Amino acid sequence: MPEGTTGLARKIVLAEATMAIVGICGSPYQALFGVRERFVLQNLVLLARRTVSLVAIVFVSVDGTAETQLAEFVTLNAWLNVGVVIFAVLAQSALEPLARPVFSKASRRALQEIMSTFGWNSVVVLFLNLNVRVVALLVNLLLGMASTVPYQFAIRLSAYARMIAEGTASGVDAVTVRIQKDTPERISAWLRKVTEIQAIATLPIGVLIFLAAPTLLQAWLGPVFEDSPGLLETTSFVTRLIVIQMIIRAVADGWIRVFYGLGLVARYAKVVALVGILQPIAIVLLTGVFGPLLALPALVLVVATAFTQLVVIPIRLERVRPGFLADIRAAVKWPLLATALAAPLLIPLWEPAGPKWLFGCGSAYVLLLVVVLGRRVKALRGPLAVEVKSRLGVN
């Protein structure tokens, strides 16, 4: 590490650890928003936690060194994140009696009941969320800091393809439980709707990032790439690989949550765990065989994700619920065709093209998608809007 940055690194680690600890402690309260189907509040809290960084950066002093400014930013960002979580906990406690702690009911038996809930779903969530992080760690250990920088930039940009779909998948499992209980014959239609919404939210932005990666990165981090020759090319290459993984993960999130709501998570949990264990082993072994190749960890990540979520899980779920594969094929048809139709408009952005080209091609791409998918989105939103209005008592 550069001389004089050790103290700053400690502050960053402490700030991140504080946010993680508070976030974990407050997660049951935030999860309860989804269980009670208060999805607006749930997504507002998620949005607030994602945007506090923008607020923090505004209040960083313009004077001082870059190290001092970064220390101010990470500290303020941590405090704002903690504040959002505390607000969510207090709001949930005010709305929901179940969220208010009753210390008299604390007992060893109650603790055992809580621990018994950590079953196969916890295994699936653990391995699905760790895969990218483990790859980033292995890149640093096996390939060095020079490779870590493009990977971190690539992961951050590619993650937007999945972040957009996080809100649309929020609460799907809770709604699935209710539908299965009240009208089980609607599960197939619900699965198609969820998958199509995930595809509409993910495919267009994912293809945009894939095709326009150099232009987007240049617009985002131009000065960084000017000072580091070759960094733009390597970061763009890694971004195009990782965004494929993000697209697969985001689209599959829909049906994974539906089948979790149906209580079928054990059908695929062991495979997810096995692939999660084998993935880092494969990266280490292949690096030993082929040497420190920049693309190798990302390729392993893409192959492992595609094999797990597009092959193994769908095949296993088809055995449990015949017709599943037909449902998801029908669901992704329109989003896939619309994105393929609009994608050629982004070809000029394959190489760095500047902000004018980005604005022009991007606008044409979005406009064509709106025209092609607009009516379909309205059809998907219609029944949902009726249900929301009925719950709110709005005519």
| Segment 256-305, tens digit of pLDDT | 888 777 777 778 888 888 888 899 999 999 999 998 888 899 999 999 99
- Residue 256's Cβ-count burial label (10 Å; 0-12, 13-18, 19+) is buried
Reference 29, options 75, 106, 96, 102; nearest CA is 96
C-alpha 258/C-alpha 27 separation (Å) is: 21
Q: How far is CA 123 from the centre of its chain?
A: 17
C-alpha 350/C-alpha 375 separation (Å) is: 30
Residue 323: DSSP 8-state: T
Contact of 37 with 175, CB cutoff 8 Å? yes
Residue 288, number of CB atoms within 10 A of its CB: 10
pLDDT on residue 383: 53
Reference 50, options 193, 204, 167; nearest CA is 167
C-alpha 65/C-alpha 7 separation (Å) is: 14
pLDDT on residue 167: 67
pLDDT on residue 300: 93
Average pLDDT for consecutive 10-residue bins of the chain (395 residues)? 78 90 86 76 82 87 81 91 90 83 81 71 76 87 86 87 72 74 79 87 92 91 81 90 91 82 79 87 92 90 91 86 86 91 94 90 92 78 51 45
Q: Which residues contact 328 (CB under 8 A, 6 or more apart)?
A: 191, 192, 195, 255, 314
Count, residues in the chain: 395
Reference 138, options 248, 299, 269; nearest CA is 299
Helix 313-320 and helix 266-290, axial crossing angle in degrees, nearest 10: 160
pLDDT on residue 389: 47
Q: Which residues contact 202 (CB under 8 A, 6 or more apart)?
A: 161, 162, 164, 165, 247, 250, 251
Q: Which residues contact 117 (CB under 8 A, 6 or more apart)?
A: none
pLDDT on residue 363: 94
Burial code of 311-342, b = ≥16 C-beta within 10 A, e = fewer?
ebbbebbeeebeebeebbeebbebbeebbeeb
C-alpha 33/C-alpha 40 separation (Å) is: 9
Contact of 176 with 190, CB cutoff 8 Å? yes
Q: How far is CA 57 from the centre of its chain?
A: 23
- Residue 293's Cβ-count burial label (10 Å; 0-12, 13-18, 19+) is middle
C-alpha 303/C-alpha 299 separation (Å) is: 6
Give how far Cα 2 sits from Cα of 8, 9, 13, 67, Å. Answer: 11, 11, 16, 11
**Total H helices, total E strands in the chain:** 14, 0
C-alpha 210/C-alpha 217 separation (Å) is: 11
C-alpha 202/C-alpha 240 separation (Å) is: 15
Regarding pTM above 0.85, the answer is: no
Phi-psi region of 119 (alpha: psi -120 to 50; beta: other; left: phi over 0): beta
Please report the sign of the dihedral spanned by the C-alpha atoms of residue 194, residue 195, residue 200, residue 203: positive
